[in-house]
Amino acid sequence: MNQLDDLYMEIILDHYKSPRNKANLDHLGDDVLHENPSCGDSVKLDLQLDGENRITQAQFDGHGCAISTASASLMTERLIGMNIAEAQDFLQLFLSVMRGEEEVEKLEAWGDLEVLEGVRKFPMRIKCATLAWHALESRLEALTS
């Protein structure tokens, strides 16, 4: 049971059942839709910026499992208030932790996000945890290009 509870931490189940910043983003076309081809899960991400390139609103839409939904929800919570450069560092750090290249303690500064540590013990689920982050990656690329 322990391993499964490491994956489905209470905070993850909470964000799955009541996702934060989840909104209907039908107005964004399918070109911003990110899909996990192995399972059919999909996510869209929308960022609103102020005049100083600071994220004032981060919303996501899509359907996914507990891990991908909670990861998207936790990600959007943290993104609000960051500028683009900070968001890029944040993204890279998270992906490195998921790849096992960085210690999970590095995520401590980001609060609840650390609960996604358990996913690393389930290699098949890492792509669930990173789906929304790849959507963030393209969104940030589009904003900076």
Partner 1 sequence: MKEMHLTNALKKDFPLFQAHPELVYLDNAATSQKPQVVLDALNTYYTTQNANVHRAVYGLAEQSTLAYEGARARIANHLNAASPQELVFVRGATEGLNLLAWSLSQQLLSSGDIILVTEMEHHANLVPWQQAALRMGAELVAIPLLPDATLDMNFLKTLEADGRAQRVKICAVSTVSNAFGTTHPLSQISSWCKNHGISLVVDGAQSVPHGSWDVQELGADFLVFSGHKVYGPMGSGVVWGKEALWDQLPPWQTGGEMISRVTLTSSTWNSLPHKFEAGTPDVAAAVGLAAAMDWMVAFGLKHIQDREAFLSQKARQILQEVEGLTLIGPQNQKHQLVFSFTLEGVHSHDVAQYLDRDHVAIRSGHHCAQPAMRALQLGSTARASLALYNTEEDLHCLGAALQAAREYFL
* 42 sits near partner 1 (criterion: CB under 8 A): yes
In the list 15, 34, 44, 125, the residue contacting partner 1 (rule: CB under 8 A) is: 125
User: What distance in Å separates the CA atoms of residue 91 and residue 130, rounded to the nearest whole number?
Assistant: 10
For residue 21, the surrounding DSSP H or E stretch is none
Decide: helix, strand or coil at residue 123: helix
In the list 11, 28, 32, 66, the residue contacting partner 1 (rule: CB under 8 A) is: 66
Q: How many residues bind partner 1 (CB under 8 A)?
A: 21
* 33 sits near partner 1 (criterion: CB under 8 A): no
User: What distance in Å separates the CA atoms of residue 29 and residue 8, rounded to the nearest whole number?
Assistant: 32
In the list 9, 64, 91, 97, the residue contacting partner 1 (rule: CB under 8 A) is: 64
User: What distance in Å separates the CA atoms of residue 112 and residue 63, rounded to the nearest whole number?
Assistant: 22
Identify the residue whose tokens are 């996913």. 119
Q: Which residues contact partner 1 (rule: CB under 8 A)?
A: 1, 3-4, 7-8, 13, 16, 38-42, 63-67, 69, 122, 125, 128
